[in-house]
Structure 1
Amino acid sequence: MTEVIRDNLKLPSSSASVPPGYMRLEDALNVLGGQDYPSEWGLLPGWSHMPFRYSKKDKRYVRHEMRLMGTRARLQKPPVHLDLTKAEKQACTRLYRKVRDTLREALFNGELKADAAHYVSGVVTRIDTPVVWWKQARPIFFAGNIVIRDAQLRDELADVIIEKEAFGNWLKARSKMRAKVASEAMLRTIGKRVADHGRAHNYRIPKADTLHLVRRILKDANRTFSDRQFYAVVWKQPGKGPGAPKGEPRARYPLFLKDLEQEIRAIVVEATAQ
């Protein structure tokens, strides 16, 4: 089997070395990106120039670098010249956004911890302020630095580093959790069946009833899904019948639900058996 050669992401201001037992932020991003998007990460045209982004203010694509200017760190935006189509540029930036958002969310929620390796002193300190992952997103994910700021002192730059063992454990736990998440294809099929069932029997199942029914069925199958997935995939399916059940359809609504439940369970059984 031919080994796939990838262009690894390189953050401009990231140090070449890290303390024993740690990995650089860019290394974590490369592992995560290669795992989640193996056919794209490091293989897209122009990836060797990443990370770049489109600056609406400057109306051009830029990279980022952190520099100390006087006592304060400043984020620089040198332009990057890319011999790529618009679609190729957008493919790179969209893919990077997906991966960095996944890692940032884990760091923000405390699922994964990171440390700051101070440039001047070499001291390693825990990054324990969750909001930093949003306020310093560009310095961290585009330059590779975090700014240690004290109003009374000179800014200090530090590398963002992660313990290798902790990162490996997070990846394993995430893989187990993802195995339990219902696939989008399954949810889309369920949503279509809900819509078809309503049309066939001249009724529309309310949103709350649909959510409760699908969640209960998937829980029995040891599968989970988020509210975002429900609204974006299941409930998004068009044409769910003429409206809330009235008259005869209303009297038969419990029977409709029971029949629909059996059909959805059959979908889940077939999907999870594959």
Structure 2
Amino acid sequence: MSKKRHEPHEEHPDESWLLPYSDLMTLLLALFIVLYAASSVNTAKLQQMSIAFKTAFSSGISILDKGALTEDDQLKRRTAEDLDRKDDGRTNRSKEARAAAMQQEQQNLEQLQKDLNKYIKKNGLSSQLDTQLNHSQLLITIRDNALFPSGSANIKPDSRKLAAAIGHMLQQYPDYEILVTGHTDNQPINTSEFPSNWELSSKRAINFMKILLENTNFDPKRFSAIGYGEFRPLQSNNTDAGRAINRRVEVSILRNYLEPTDSSNEITLNAIASENKSSSQ
């Protein structure tokens, strides 16, 4: 029996490196194709695609749903952006104008306060008149003994000159609201003319306001008068000195512009009263 003859086994080289090599070549080919395509891309379409991406990320428009923006969409978008820029410009100009107006108003009120203080010092009225400039108003406080006899709302003849002088200084600034308020102590009054301190304080405020309005340069629509009776004291009513301070007439020149922290330009009477009390104390 003959034996089969075996041919010698030939060893083949390891060819596993061909797989990553072919993948690498494929990636390089894809890279060159992309580079070539990018070098000859239509810039208009590229811009549309860029706008579409920005719109999708900023306003939620889906690229798959909307595709690239049309020329009409781009025009509308540019128009909206232009309007936003114009609105921002108007807002900035409005803020600048308001800041300038507030600065001018501050200068006006500071000058008016200087004029009033100069008049008070010149006429020896420091114990009877006082001025306070705060964030809402220029406040002029006049003690009642400088204007009225005890228990009366009739202004003393000599005191009419004081009211006229204050009015003369105020007429330089006719664009402000003027609020005149009357205050008494807590001593009760009960006469045929004044059943209570409400009537007395109100009548005093009105009479003083009327003298101011004798100046024809004023617009009566900008004036108002209020009586608070004994309910807005500056000091305790337990002493004669405190009661004397509480009996007063206050003239408030109200600002037209408040600080930005305020919610509005309207000044409530409660806010004024609180400001008056804190500044006087």
Give the structure with the higher percent helix: 2
TM-score by length of 2: 0.21
Larger radius of gyration: 2
TM-score by length of 1: 0.22
